Structure 1
Amino acid sequence: MKLVVQVRLLPTAVQAAALEATLRACNEAATWVSEVAFARGEFKNFALRKLTYEQVKSGWNLGAQAAQHTIKKTCDAYATLKANLRAGRLGRLATLALYRRGESDLVHRDGMWFLNATCEIPEAEPNTDPVDFLGIDLGIVNIATTSDGEIMAGRELNRIRVRERGLRTKLQKKNTPSARRRLNKRRRKEARRAKDINHKIAKHVVAEAECTGRGIALEDLTGIRERVRLRKPQRATHSSWSFHQLGQFIAYKARKAGVPVVYVDPAYTSRTCAECGHIDRANRVSQAWFACRSCGVVAHADRNGSRNIRARAWELWRRGAQSTAPAPPRSRPEGQDANAAPQPVAPVVQARRFNDGS
């Protein structure tokens, strides 16, 4: 059994400079070895060592062990790339090689360099005849709840946000140089975590709809921040609710997979009984539970809401509402082209108003 033991080093300033110089030399040597391997088509360790070993030692003044390790690491990198290509896991670099089109932006952020490249990813054949719709209720306590009854809870994310908010308040009050450095380091950590969670939820929802031949039903939450009035303790939680980002992620992933998306009016979805259609404010017993005052059915509130969203979307689809493509997200996630004009796509329906007779 092999174990990897991590030991923290405490080098002096001179030793740290020497270590950095050695790493820099190894990286430069590995880049050269990779170019030789690609040009010669030789990716085996022993054969590549014959071609590059002496030059790596003399050109970058590396010891025998460091030179051999650099060559082996290069071979390992090519082996990993080959395995990913065989398994269909192209990765971002392969995606760039296959689909990169148009402009690219070079970004320097927090001491790191990024390349934002525009890619044109082929879309799947649109599904113009879905068998049903998967309703998605977006919320704060539960980030997303499906009409199948699946709940993707947001409690962990909300706990993290509360902790981060408290930490920011303390650091801002302290206002020392070290506190400002710490604030700067953590400023985008919460946003990155929320974005990662939203990507995973969107991917799961689209995959579920695609494999069952269904469309996706979402609420049209445009302007909800302006319409909803909240008490002061609730404002921070509501303002950090990234429902718009999650909705965008679902829309563009669905478009790429050929899954139809329908937006419905969210009015009274939380007060309407999905079984009998009775609408009453008293039906919503609490944040978590729904109890119909007419038929007596008891259900999870978000599950009941998602079933109403699904029913409204199915009704709209049967009426043949006008189809439009969703606007591409501004952040260009996962290859979305921000400069491309929206093109008409048949199975995507935009319904801004829906009157349920209430």
Structure 2
Amino acid sequence: MKLVVQVKLLSTPEQALALEATLHACNEAANWLSAQAYGRQVTSRSGLQALAYGELKRQGLSAQPALHVLRKVADAYTALEANLKAGNLGRPGSKRHIKATGKPVAFREDAAQPYDDRCLSWQTAERTVSIWTTTGRLKNLAFTGQDDQLAVLAAYRKGESDLLRRGGQWYLIATCDVPEAMPNIHPAGFLGVDLGIVNIASTSTGKRHCGRRLNRRREADRKLRSKLQKKNTKSAKRRARRRAGKEARRARDINHKISKSIVAEAQRTMRGIALEDLGGIRERARLRKPQRVTLHSWSFHQLGSFIAYKAKRAGIPLVYVSPANTSRECSRCHHVDKRNRPSQAVFSCRSCGFVEHADLNASHNIADRGWMVWVRGAESQAPALTLVA
């Protein structure tokens, strides 16, 4: 399976200037080529190479970086065409559609630039890289990262790596081809995972992840974000951007910890994992305004993808089940009634009198449905590529 590992470059000021000049030159060339592609309606890799390869080299790019710029532009137009075809950018004639198709694809000056082994070499034992720049090749450029990620990098790195700058720091994103564990084809049952508003994740074994403390922090973040948006000054916008990055990193870290705990529990108990199929949940959900804000402020899709790739890496079966009535169905007698849930936290069956925490009851239903899906042979497939860091 494909994973990516992020490492931080420990560049000197001189090295940072060389990397910055290289990234700006590559993206300036990409913008020039994008304008040519848009004007001449040539977007294939072969067509762009015939059109502009020589000119890109005259602009100061070596052979391999020039080819990567060509591919980056061609891939951007391929992605645009796919989004237009799928209707992700609105209907033809709409403002969004016209905005997307009315000008060339643009690249930020700090947009990531791909490198292959001809212009980037790794010395993983010494934790250094040698990388091409427009001012010459930088050698012995040190990097660092988490120990477990560096071990994956040393053992399984394969393919291209991306150079990018974020928050004033330089990073390399490396692709690793990690072998999958032998799948457990005879699970002892399924661990149901209920994703919710008060508790982000609740398992059928009774474990609830993140509650009051995190929700108070999320509420404080929302109030501060709203305050900064209303202020609308340059300093407020600058602070809001910094806060947004901090919130995203915190949420990502929490999602990694929750997914790691869930997968470890399933592996320890020899079970599979059952998740709700929450596709389109934001459009289907009928919630009060405060609940809508909470629902939209957490990346449940990211959490699900983290669980999926960790489960696949550990050889744990993963299935998706229908979310219909999981919170209204009794896990004992399977009676369905919206009155079974008199409050957010309480489930009380109107038929058999069974009482339990609502999230735990829902997770039991998800676990039961997961086993039924597995028995029918409808095993779900985890994503092939997800970030490690």
- TM-score, reference length from structure 2: 0.61
- 1:217 and 2:274 correspond: yes
* Higher RCO, Cα 8 Å, sep 6+: 2
- 1:333 and 2:387 correspond: yes
List runs of 5+ in structure 2 lacking aligned partners.
1-11, 15-122, 127-143
Greater share of strand: 2
Classify the secondary structure of the residue corresponding to 2:200.
strand
List runs of 5+ in structure 1 lacking aligned partners.
1-22, 26-34, 39-80, 82-88, 336-358
Give the total of aligned pairs: 253
Distance in 1 (CA, whole Å) between partners of 2:249 and 2:239 is 16
Q: 1:254-293 alignment to 2 at 5 Å? A: 254-293=311-350
Give the counterpart of 2:357 among 291, 300, 303.
300
Q: 1:60-209 alignment to 2 at 5 Å? A: 90-209=147-266
Which amino acid letter does the alignment assign opposite residue 370 of structure 2? A
Which amino acid letter does the alignment assign opposite residue 105 of structure 1? D
Classify the secondary structure of the residue corresponding to 1:119.
strand
Q: CA deviation at 1:91?
A: 2.5
- 1:242 and 2:299 correspond: yes
Distance in 2 (CA, whole Å) between partners of 1:271 and 1:256 is 33
Classify the secondary structure of the residue corresponding to 1:279.
coil
Distance in 2 (CA, whole Å) between partners of 1:324 and 1:262 is 5
Which position in structure 1 is the counterpart of 2:17?
A: none
- Check the 8 A contact 1:157/1:194 in 2, yes or no: no
Classify the secondary structure of the residue corresponding to 1:269.
coil
Distance in 2 (CA, whole Å) between partners of 1:238 and 1:304 is 20
CA RMSD of aligned residues (A): 2.5
Which position in structure 2 is the counterpart of 1:320?
A: 377
Distance in 2 (CA, whole Å) between partners of 1:177 and 1:316 is 53
Q: CA deviation at 1:324?
A: 4.6
Which amino acid letter does the alignment assign opposite residue 214 of structure 2? L
Which amino acid letter does the alignment assign opposite residue 108 of structure 1? R
- TM-score, reference length from structure 1: 0.66
Percent identical: 61
Q: CA deviation at 1:90?
A: 4.5
Classify the secondary structure of the residue corresponding to 1:142.
coil
Distance in 2 (CA, whole Å) between partners of 1:291 and 1:284 is 6
Distance in 2 (CA, whole Å) between partners of 1:298 and 1:326 is 34
Distance in 1 (CA, whole Å) between partners of 2:275 and 2:13 is 50
Q: CA deviation at 1:158?
A: 2.3
Q: CA deviation at 1:121?
A: 1.4
Distance in 1 (CA, whole Å) between partners of 2:241 and 2:367 is 43
Per-residue displacement from partner, 1:314-351 (whole Å, max 9, x unpaired)? 12222223x3522335xx3118xxxxxxxxxxxxxxxx
Which position in structure 2 is the counterpart of 1:5?
A: none
Per-residue displacement from partner, 1:109-158 (whole Å, max 9, x unpaired)? 11111111111112111000101111111111001111111111333232
Classify the secondary structure of the residue corresponding to 2:316.
coil
Seen in structure 2, the aligned counterparts of structure 1 residues 90 and 163 have a Cα distance that, compared at 3 Å, is closer
- Check the 8 A contact 2:328/2:341 in 1, yes or no: yes
Q: CA deviation at 1:184?
A: 2.4
Which amino acid letter does the alignment assign opposite residue 172 of structure 2? L
Per-residue displacement from partner, 1:223-269 (whole Å, max 9, x unpaired)? 11111133333332121132111111101000000000111101111
Structure 1 residue runs of 4 or more that deviate by more than 4 Å after TM superposition = none
